[in-house]
Amino acid sequence: MKILKKAITLNVGLVLMGSAVFAQDLNDAKKAIDAEQYQKASSMLKSLVSSKASDGNNYYNLGLVYLKTGYIDSARAVFTKGVTADPKNNLNLIGLGEADMLSNNPSSAKTNFDKAVALAPKDYKTYLYIGKAYLAQDKPSDDVSKPDFTNALANITKADELDSKDKDAEVFLAQGDAYALQKKL
Protein backbone atom coordinates (compact mmCIF):
# COMPACT_ATOMS: atom_id res chain seq x y z
CA MET A 1 0.00 0.00 0.00
CA LYS A 2 2.86 2.41 0.82
CA ILE A 3 4.42 1.77 -2.59
CA LEU A 4 1.13 2.56 -4.32
CA LYS A 5 0.79 5.87 -2.40
CA LYS A 6 4.37 6.82 -3.27
CA ALA A 7 3.80 6.00 -6.93
CA ILE A 8 0.61 8.07 -7.04
CA THR A 9 2.30 10.98 -5.26
CA LEU A 10 5.26 10.82 -7.63
CA ASN A 11 2.99 10.76 -10.69
CA VAL A 12 0.90 13.69 -9.45
CA GLY A 13 4.07 15.64 -8.72
CA LEU A 14 5.46 14.96 -12.19
CA VAL A 15 2.19 15.97 -13.84
CA LEU A 16 2.10 19.25 -11.91
CA MET A 17 5.73 20.03 -12.76
CA GLY A 18 5.11 19.19 -16.41
CA SER A 19 2.04 21.39 -16.62
CA ALA A 20 3.97 24.28 -15.10
CA VAL A 21 6.57 24.00 -17.86
CA PHE A 22 3.93 23.93 -20.62
CA ALA A 23 1.82 26.67 -19.04
CA GLN A 24 4.24 29.30 -20.24
CA ASP A 25 2.57 31.58 -22.72
CA LEU A 26 3.08 34.99 -24.25
CA ASN A 27 1.92 36.77 -21.09
CA ASP A 28 4.56 34.95 -19.03
CA ALA A 29 7.19 35.98 -21.56
CA LYS A 30 6.03 39.61 -21.42
CA LYS A 31 6.29 39.52 -17.63
CA ALA A 32 9.86 38.23 -17.94
CA ILE A 33 10.67 41.05 -20.38
CA ASP A 34 9.21 43.64 -17.99
CA ALA A 35 11.33 42.15 -15.19
CA GLU A 36 14.38 42.39 -17.49
CA GLN A 37 14.84 38.61 -17.39
CA TYR A 38 15.83 38.50 -21.04
CA GLN A 39 17.36 35.01 -21.06
CA LYS A 40 14.20 33.52 -19.57
CA ALA A 41 11.97 35.50 -21.93
CA SER A 42 14.09 34.51 -24.91
CA SER A 43 13.89 30.80 -24.17
CA MET A 44 10.12 31.01 -23.60
CA LEU A 45 9.59 32.96 -26.80
CA LYS A 46 11.79 30.64 -28.85
CA SER A 47 9.67 27.70 -27.75
CA LEU A 48 6.49 29.66 -28.52
CA VAL A 49 7.80 30.56 -31.96
CA SER A 50 8.58 26.92 -32.72
CA SER A 51 5.23 25.65 -31.40
CA LYS A 52 3.04 28.45 -32.82
CA ALA A 53 4.92 29.44 -35.95
CA SER A 54 2.01 31.40 -37.44
CA ASP A 55 1.56 33.81 -34.50
CA GLY A 56 3.29 37.08 -35.33
CA ASN A 57 3.06 38.33 -31.74
CA ASN A 58 5.60 35.74 -30.61
CA TYR A 59 8.08 36.84 -33.28
CA TYR A 60 7.58 40.49 -32.34
CA ASN A 61 8.27 39.92 -28.66
CA LEU A 62 11.31 37.75 -29.40
CA GLY A 63 12.61 40.51 -31.66
CA LEU A 64 12.07 43.05 -28.86
CA VAL A 65 14.19 40.90 -26.54
CA TYR A 66 16.97 40.97 -29.13
CA LEU A 67 16.65 44.75 -29.48
CA LYS A 68 16.78 45.25 -25.72
CA THR A 69 19.93 43.11 -25.49
CA GLY A 70 21.62 44.92 -28.38
CA TYR A 71 21.35 42.26 -31.10
CA ILE A 72 19.81 44.42 -33.81
CA ASP A 73 20.63 42.08 -36.71
CA SER A 74 19.10 39.09 -34.91
CA ALA A 75 16.02 41.17 -34.12
CA ARG A 76 15.72 42.20 -37.76
CA ALA A 77 15.92 38.53 -38.84
CA VAL A 78 13.20 37.52 -36.36
CA PHE A 79 10.94 40.41 -37.39
CA THR A 80 11.38 39.45 -41.05
CA LYS A 81 10.39 35.85 -40.26
CA GLY A 82 7.40 37.23 -38.37
CA VAL A 83 6.28 39.28 -41.37
CA THR A 84 6.54 36.14 -43.52
CA ALA A 85 4.75 33.92 -40.99
CA ASP A 86 1.91 36.34 -40.24
CA PRO A 87 1.65 39.01 -42.97
CA LYS A 88 -1.54 40.53 -41.51
CA ASN A 89 0.13 41.26 -38.17
CA ASN A 90 1.65 44.73 -38.28
CA LEU A 91 3.77 44.42 -35.12
CA ASN A 92 6.72 42.90 -36.94
CA LEU A 93 6.77 45.83 -39.38
CA ILE A 94 6.90 48.14 -36.35
CA GLY A 95 9.75 46.01 -35.01
CA LEU A 96 11.63 46.36 -38.29
CA GLY A 97 11.08 50.12 -38.07
CA GLU A 98 12.44 50.19 -34.53
CA ALA A 99 15.49 48.21 -35.64
CA ASP A 100 15.97 50.75 -38.43
CA MET A 101 15.71 53.61 -35.93
CA LEU A 102 18.36 51.99 -33.72
CA SER A 103 20.55 51.58 -36.82
CA ASN A 104 20.15 55.31 -37.60
CA ASN A 105 18.06 54.71 -40.72
CA PRO A 106 14.96 56.86 -40.13
CA SER A 107 13.75 56.82 -43.75
CA SER A 108 13.53 53.01 -43.81
CA ALA A 109 11.89 53.11 -40.37
CA LYS A 110 9.25 55.55 -41.63
CA THR A 111 8.54 53.23 -44.58
CA ASN A 112 8.00 50.26 -42.24
CA PHE A 113 5.86 52.34 -39.89
CA ASP A 114 3.70 53.51 -42.82
CA LYS A 115 3.20 49.88 -43.93
CA ALA A 116 2.16 48.98 -40.37
CA VAL A 117 -0.36 51.82 -40.24
CA ALA A 118 -1.75 50.77 -43.64
CA LEU A 119 -2.48 47.29 -42.24
CA ALA A 120 -4.41 48.60 -39.21
CA PRO A 121 -5.18 52.32 -39.50
CA LYS A 122 -7.77 52.34 -36.69
CA ASP A 123 -5.85 50.24 -34.15
CA TYR A 124 -4.51 52.38 -31.33
CA LYS A 125 -1.82 49.81 -30.50
CA THR A 126 -0.22 50.41 -33.88
CA TYR A 127 0.36 54.05 -33.04
CA LEU A 128 1.33 53.23 -29.46
CA TYR A 129 4.08 50.83 -30.50
CA ILE A 130 5.31 53.21 -33.21
CA GLY A 131 5.53 55.97 -30.60
CA LYS A 132 7.43 53.66 -28.27
CA ALA A 133 9.78 52.76 -31.12
CA TYR A 134 10.59 56.43 -31.62
CA LEU A 135 11.40 56.64 -27.89
CA ALA A 136 13.60 53.54 -27.91
CA GLN A 137 16.70 55.56 -28.67
CA ASP A 138 17.13 56.97 -25.19
CA LYS A 139 20.92 57.01 -25.17
CA PRO A 140 21.83 60.50 -23.99
CA SER A 141 25.56 59.86 -24.37
CA ASP A 142 25.23 59.32 -28.13
CA ASP A 143 24.39 62.51 -29.98
CA VAL A 144 23.24 60.67 -33.10
CA SER A 145 20.62 58.43 -31.54
CA LYS A 146 18.39 60.68 -29.49
CA PRO A 147 14.68 59.95 -29.37
CA ASP A 148 12.44 61.64 -31.92
CA PHE A 149 10.04 63.26 -29.46
CA THR A 150 7.95 64.99 -32.11
CA ASN A 151 7.03 61.76 -33.91
CA ALA A 152 6.82 59.79 -30.68
CA LEU A 153 4.34 62.18 -29.07
CA ALA A 154 2.33 62.52 -32.30
CA ASN A 155 1.88 58.75 -32.51
CA ILE A 156 1.17 58.30 -28.81
CA THR A 157 -1.38 61.12 -28.95
CA LYS A 158 -3.03 59.43 -31.93
CA ALA A 159 -3.12 56.19 -29.92
CA ASP A 160 -4.79 58.06 -27.07
CA GLU A 161 -7.41 59.48 -29.45
CA LEU A 162 -8.18 56.05 -30.91
CA ASP A 163 -8.39 54.51 -27.43
CA SER A 164 -11.35 56.76 -26.69
CA LYS A 165 -12.57 54.75 -23.72
CA ASP A 166 -9.11 54.89 -22.10
CA LYS A 167 -9.00 51.13 -21.60
CA ASP A 168 -5.25 50.73 -21.92
CA ALA A 169 -3.02 52.30 -19.28
CA GLU A 170 0.02 51.59 -21.47
CA VAL A 171 -0.90 54.65 -23.55
CA PHE A 172 -0.62 56.92 -20.51
CA LEU A 173 2.62 55.25 -19.43
CA ALA A 174 4.09 55.89 -22.88
CA GLN A 175 3.03 59.54 -22.70
CA GLY A 176 4.64 59.87 -19.30
CA ASP A 177 7.82 58.20 -20.54
CA ALA A 178 7.98 60.57 -23.50
CA TYR A 179 7.62 63.67 -21.35
CA ALA A 180 10.06 62.38 -18.73
CA LEU A 181 12.69 61.55 -21.36
CA GLN A 182 12.19 64.90 -23.03
CA LYS A 183 12.83 66.70 -19.78
CA LYS A 184 15.82 64.50 -18.93
CA LEU A 185 17.56 65.20 -22.22
On whether the pTM is more than 0.85, the answer is no
| Of 134, 135, 117, the residue nearest 126 (C-alpha) | 117
At CB < 8 A and 24+ separation, what contacts does 33-41 make? 33/61, 33/64, 33/65, 33/68, 36/68, 38/65, 38/68, 38/69, 41/65
Could you please state the CATH topology (level 3) that the domain comprising 23-120 is classified under. 1.25.40
pLDDT of residue 20: 41
pLDDT in tens, 65-79: 999 999 999 999 999
pLDDT in tens, 87-102: 999 999 999 999 999 9
| Of 113, 117, 114, 159, the residue nearest 134 (C-alpha) | 113
Whole-number Å distance between alpha carbons of 18 and 41? 19
pLDDT in tens, 34-52: 888 999 999 999 999 999 8
| Of 128, 119, 122, 71, the residue nearest 93 (C-alpha) | 119
Amino acid at 95: G
Q: Report residue 135 CA to chain centroid gap.
A: 14
Share of the chain above pLDDT 70, in %: 83
The stretches of 23-105 forming alpha helices (DSSP H) are 26-34, 38-51, 56-68, 72-85, 91-102
CA Rg, the chain, in Å? 20
